[in-house]
Amino acid sequence: MSYPQWFPRPKSWLQSLVLMISIVPIVFVMKTTIAPFNFFTSLFIEEPSHRAFTWLGITGVLIPIFLLSHVHQFLWGERNLKFPKWIPSLRSLGEGAYSWLVLFLCFAMSFSYAVNLQPNSYQQVEEQIEQEAKTFFFSFMLISAYAYHLKSLIGAKFQAKRSP
């Protein structure tokens, strides 16, 4: 009996679990870097500026990619001897960027499924998230496992074309 190609392999499930665990430090770093600037974000909404876009871009995109690439390098990657120890290899940075993309897509899809799109207040959204936590985490794990599985299938297809 062969392993079905449509079902994610164990490595995809493991990567999905690692991504789920990696959310905790990412949320902590994001909360400590963005939370003190709530006043600035309200100004950003009223009067957008280049500095606010830059700050949100760095804290919302670059820091999570950097943290996820460190997680990948620690678990699966190899160090690049040309870089200092604190900079991950290019492959780990690519995996970190893909993990951030998977994280963003999973959050968007899971939230759209777990929360009604027209809540009346912030407290109702919070209550819905607490009530639908199991559904959210199950859908997050499933979507991320299939995203990593799709990446491995595409990588295997390109690798098969390169080999003679």
pLDDT, one tens digit per residue, over 5-56 is 889 999 999 999 998 888 888 777 777 766 665 555 555 566 666 766 677 7
147 belongs to a structural domain: yes
Specify the DSSP class assigned to residue 9.
P
pLDDT, one tens digit per residue, over 46-89 is 666 676 667 777 777 888 898 889 888 888 777 778 888 888 88
3 belongs to a structural domain: no
Is pLDDT at 162 greater than 70 in this prediction? Answer: no
DSSP letters, 31-100, are HHHHGGGHHHHHHHHHS--HHHHHHHHIIIIIHHHHHHHHHHHHHT----TTS-TTSPPHHHHHHHHHHH
Residue 157's identity, in one-letter code, is: K
94 belongs to a structural domain: yes
Residue 9's identity, in one-letter code, is: R
| Domains: count for the chain | 1
Closest C-alpha among 18, 30, 28 to residue 59? 30
56 belongs to a structural domain: yes
1 belongs to a structural domain: no
27 belongs to a structural domain: yes
Tell me the CA distances in angstroms from 99 to 18, 85, 112, 132, one per residue in order: 10, 21, 20, 24
Which are the contacts of 11, defined by CB distance < 8 A and separation ≥ 6? Answer: 148, 152
Range of the domain at 113: 10-162
55 belongs to a structural domain: yes
Torsion sign (Cα): 80, 82, 88, 90: negative
Q: How confident is the model at residue 55, as a pLDDT? A: 72
pLDDT, one tens digit per residue, over 84-142 is 888 888 888 999 999 999 998 988 887 776 665 555 555 666 676 677 777 778 888 99
Do the Cβ atoms of 103 and 142 come closer than 8 Å? no
65 belongs to a structural domain: yes
